[in-house]
Amino acid sequence: IMSFLLSNLALGTIITAASYHWFFAWIGLELNTLAIIPILSKQHHPRATEAATKYFIIQATASSIIIFSSMLNAWYTGTWDITHLTTYPATISLTLALLMKLGLTPLHFWLPEVMQGTNMFSALIITTWQKFPPMSLLFLTMNNTPTTILFLMA
């Protein structure tokens, strides 16, 4: 089962990084989230269950903001292409959602609490592998991302 979950993590990352359509990028992000939840709650401990629940709520919120911003962008531009992110509200909401998924500074309060409830292997996956798909989306939308927000987050 663990090898199946880890292969789903890899598949979700590949789908997100290789997609140029917002829906497929969102599918890859959701596949990553759904694959990591059983890994986080593998220990039968209340803290592990709490960490998995917090992780799911934060990631689901960020994913819903991502799909909302992509729909908003598609409404204005008529295209679902990731590289054609041109509307300012969609760009801001997408950037904030990706920063929430990454756990960067003003949106990082969930990360230490989730890390405390997991074991070392799960924490390693959360802090490394789970950051690849949002980072790939940031790189794909780099030309339209507001640099002042990114500088403040860095």
pLDDT digits (tens, 9 = 90+) for 117-129: 999 999 999 999 9
Count of domains in the chain? 1
**How confident is the model over 40-61, as a mean pLDDT?**
92
Instruction: Identify which of 149, 135, 148 has the alpha carbon closest to the alpha carbon of residue 17.
Output: 135
Highest mean pLDDT among 77-86, 113-122, 137-146: 113-122
Are 136 and 17 in contact, with CB atoms under 8 Å apart? yes
Range of the domain at 6: 1-153
Instruction: Give Cα separations from 48 to 28, 35, 42, 54, 80 (angstroms).
Output: 24, 15, 8, 10, 37
pLDDT band at 86 (very low <50, low <70, confident <90, very high): confident
